[in-house]
Amino acid sequence: MSASIAAAGSPASFVELDVNGQAVAVRASLSTTLLTALRDELHLTAAKRGCNQGVCGACTIRIDGVPMRACLSLAHGCVGSRVATLEGLAADPRMQALQRAFAETGGFQCGFCTPGMLVAAHALLEREADPDEDAIRGALSGNLCRCTGYVKIVAAVLAAASASKGSP
């Protein structure tokens, strides 16, 4: 075992994280990214590995409310922070409004970028309940989509904001 651990990098230990409101013990070495911990150890696979370099945004999750790249965050660096994935945001009415709007406007095709897109859009709507198109473009410019051409994603976020009006 020791040789295989050496091959894989630094030794793994258990780290306690707050993921989607629950305290969980995750096996992670010092170099294990949050994305690997979420996907491989906790089987929370909504966050996707599109580039593992922080560019594509498919792994977008929230750390203490801020949308972040799970592939650029180390699991050990998230101790004491609140980590939220799409799975954990599912009960939030604003996320549900986004999901409905994406379904109704066709704001996704293959769906691979969608969890990251939803988490980024969710953070935007929390910050700014009634964003205009420029604000949406700004907030989602770090999330790549190769299928939709983005038109229906913009429409979906506008529709979700409009549907959420009046809700807290």
Partner 1 sequence: MSSLAMGEVGRAAAQLEGEEKLSGSAQYIADLVRPGLLHGAILQSPHAHARIRGYDVSAARALPGVRAIVTGDDLDASHRMGAFIKDEPAFAKGKVRYVGEIVAAVAADTEAIARAATRLIRVDYDVLPAVLDPESALAPDAPLVHEDAAAYAKVFDAGTSANACSRTDFRTGDIASAWARCDVVVEARYTTQAQAHLSLEPCGALAEIDAAGRITLWSANQSVFRVQACVCESLGLPMTKVRCLTPRVGAGFGNKMEAHVQPAVVLLALKARRAVKLILSREEDFETVRARHPFSIRIKTGAKADGTLVAREMELLLDGGAYGDDSPGVLGYALLMQPGPYRIPHVHGHGRVAYTNKLRFGAFRGFGVPQVTFASETQLDEIAARLAMDPIAVRRKNMLAPGDPWFGGQPIASNGLAECVDTVARESGWEEALAATSTGAAEAHEADPAPAGQRRRRGRGVALSAHISGLLASGAIVRVLEDCSVLLNTGAVDIGQGSNTVLTQICAEALKVPIERVAIASPDTDGSPYNWGTTASRVTYVAGRSVVGAAAEVERKLKEHAGEMLECAPDDLELLPGGKVAIKGVEQRAVTFADISGRAHWAAGGPIIGTHSWVFDQKTFDPKRTAALGLPFSQIGIFSFSALVVEVEVDEATGKVRVLGAWAACDIGRAINPRMATGQIEGAFVQGMGYALFEEMVWDGGRLANPSLMDYKIPTIAELPETLRAYLIESDEPSGPFGAKSVGELGINGVAAAIANAIASATGLRLRRLPMTGERVLRGLLDAGEGRS
Minimum distance between the CB of residue 145 and partner 1, rounded to whole angstroms?
Answer: 7
Is 11 near partner 1 (CB under 8 A)?
no
Tokens for 159? 């529709």
Angle between helices 151-164 and 133-140 (to 10 degrees): 120
Out of 77, 142, 158, 163, the only residue in the binding site for partner 1 (CB under 8 A) is: 142
Is 166 near partner 1 (CB under 8 A)?
no
From the list 157, 111, 116, 117, the residue with the least C-alpha distance to 133 is 157
Out of 46, 75, 123, 160, the only residue in the binding site for partner 1 (CB under 8 A) is: 46
Compute the distance between CA of residue 56 and CA of residue 54 in angstroms, rounded to an integer: 6
Distance of CA 119 to the CA centre of its chain: 5
3-class DSSP state of 89: helix
Nearer to partner 1, 19 or 108 (CB): 108
Nearer to partner 1, 13 or 80 (CB): 13
Out of 66, 80, 149, 166, the only residue in the binding site for partner 1 (CB under 8 A) is: 149
Out of 41, 152, 159, 164, the only residue in the binding site for partner 1 (CB under 8 A) is: 152
